[in-house]
Amino acid sequence: MSRLTDMDTISPFDRMSPKKKSHGSAIDIHVEYDRKDSATSGTTSASSPRMSPCSVESGSPYLLRKVSGDRRSVRPGAPSEPNEYNFNYHKRGLFLIINNKNFHPSTGQVTREGTNVDAERLEERFQDLGFEVRRYNDVASAKITKIMYDASEYDHSDCDCFGCAILSHGIEGRIYTTDGILPLEMLIVPFKGERCPTLVGKPKLFFLQACRGITYEASIDLTDSVSDRSGYSEDFESGVHPLRKIPVEADFLFSYSTVPGCYSWRNNQDGSWFIQALCIVLENYGPKMELLHMLTQVNRIVTYEFESCTDDEFTENIKQMPCIVSMLTRYVYFRPKKPDIRD
């Protein structure tokens, strides 16, 4: 049972409906052909003819294909497993932590006690996964905008992916800085395809510990559960085309601490429920479990293992439900880098 004395929330009079989004556009992405190691086989595999998107034959680019060759000799930038993102680059990538604890009185926000514990744990966990972690404390509006645009202009060509964690107060669609409030979209736009070409086709991962409204999460008693263990595993041959168009919104993942409209809970000594659970899962499964599977574990831990314990009857025994919004197009694995990867 976790005892709470503070919440990442704001006044109900500051709520604002999210704005409608314009239609997405597409960008071109170059995909390399799969090639067998010439030292092993002396041959090169050719791409298959272009198939119709509605095709269900084994030549469809949407189906899995077999992989051959010595995995240890994969060159940086070469295609990885067909259903996984290519994580064969030299660097894991940049990971930003925006940690806002103190706020100007004009914002009406209280100090976020316990957030430094969250930031320290995140820094350790993502360093363990191979990221170059940059932590920023108590960031104002102008500075956070500059941080995001500078990061988008960084050369990510030799990186697997990009990540960012934002720890602050908030409401739906907006994040508090130390001196104001910004639309979340403003912090995401710099990393979209047309603005950040070196991250095209690579995962952009955002973890957001902040309230998304003023509503408490309702709960019910669980009396029974159903487990669906159905599934299948099949391998298919397929070709890879040298040029494809993908939406600029592709390859983003947003892992929210709570569902839209609800509070996000934080303990003054132990940190937030969401970040506690995330760091536990990353520590135990980070190098071996697929990312969305890990985030499902986080959902379960927060859902079943945490409950508010306060002196206020109105906020006693309140639950929380994290929320995953994924535009990823492949699986994400943070496997350790192999020392013998070569150019």
**pLDDT score recorded for residue 220:** 55
pLDDT tens, residue by residue, 79-112: 556 899 999 999 999 999 999 999 999 999 999 9
What whole-number distance in Å separates Cα of residue 214 and Cα of residue 317? 16
Q: Of 203, 319, 321, 323, which is closest to residue 255 (Cα–Cα)?
A: 323
Residue tagged 């005892």 (tokens): 3
Largest CA distance in the chain: 73
Q: Of 301, 321, 319, 306, which is closest to residue 258 (Cα–Cα)?
A: 321
**Residue, of 280 and 44, whose pLDDT is higher:** 280
Residue 203's pLDDT band (boundaries 50, 70, 90)?
A: very high
DSSP characters for 209-248?
ES---SBPBP-----------------------SEEEEET
CA-to-CA dists, residue 235 to 63, 64, 81, 215, 238, angstroms? 8, 6, 12, 46, 10
Active site residue 211: yes
At residue 75, what is the residue type? R
Q: Is 19 helix (H, G, I), strand (E, B) or coil?
A: coil
Residue 163's pLDDT band (boundaries 50, 70, 90)?
A: very high
Q: Of 63, 66, 125, 134, which is closest to residue 98 (Cα–Cα)?
A: 134
Catalytic residue chosen out of the listed positions 169, 196, 262, 279: 169
The beta-strand segments (E) located in 41-158 are 91-99, 132-137
Structure tokens, 151: 């990061």
Q: Is 309 helix (H, G, I), strand (E, B) or coil?
A: strand
**pTM exceeding the 0.85 threshold for the entire prediction:** no
| pLDDT over 60 at 119, yes or no | yes
In three-state form (DSSP H/G/I as H, E/B as E, the rest C), the secondary structure along 54-75 is: CCCCCCCCCCCCCCCCCHHHCC
pLDDT average, residue stretch 177-191:
94
Active site residue 161: no
**Residue, of 216 and 215, whose pLDDT is higher:** 215
Q: Is 314 helix (H, G, I), strand (E, B) or coil?
A: helix
**pLDDT score recorded for residue 2:** 46
Percent of the chain with pLDDT over 70: 62
Please, which residues have CB within 8 angstroms of residue 208's CB and are 6 or more apart in sequence? 165, 166, 170, 175, 184, 254, 255, 256, 257
Q: CB of 322 within 8 A of CB of 302?
A: yes
Rg of the chain on CA atoms, in Å: 22
pLDDT tens, residue by residue, 2-28: 444 445 543 333 333 333 344 455 555
What whole-number distance in Å separates Cα of residue 161 and Cα of residue 138? 25
At residue 201, what is the residue type? G
pLDDT tens, residue by residue, 282-319: 999 999 999 999 999 999 999 888 776 665 655 556 78
Looking at domain 94-213+246-327, which CATH architecture does it have? 3-Layer(aba) Sandwich (3.40)
Catalytic residue chosen out of the listed positions 159, 196, 211, 279: 211
Q: What are phi and psi of 254, to 5 degrees?
A: -120, 115
| pLDDT over 80 at 276, yes or no | yes
pLDDT average, residue stretch 68-75:
45
DSSP letter at 90 equals S
Q: CB of 276 within 8 A of CB of 305?
A: no
CA-to-CA dists, residue 335 to 75, 81, 132, 201, angstroms? 16, 13, 16, 19
Residues 317, 323, 327: CA angle, nearest 5 degrees: 175
Q: Is 294 exposed, middle or buried (0-12, 13-18, 19+ CB in 10 A)?
A: buried
**pLDDT score recorded for residue 26:** 54
Residue tagged 């597409």 (tokens): 26
pLDDT tens, residue by residue, 218-237: 555 554 433 333 333 333 33
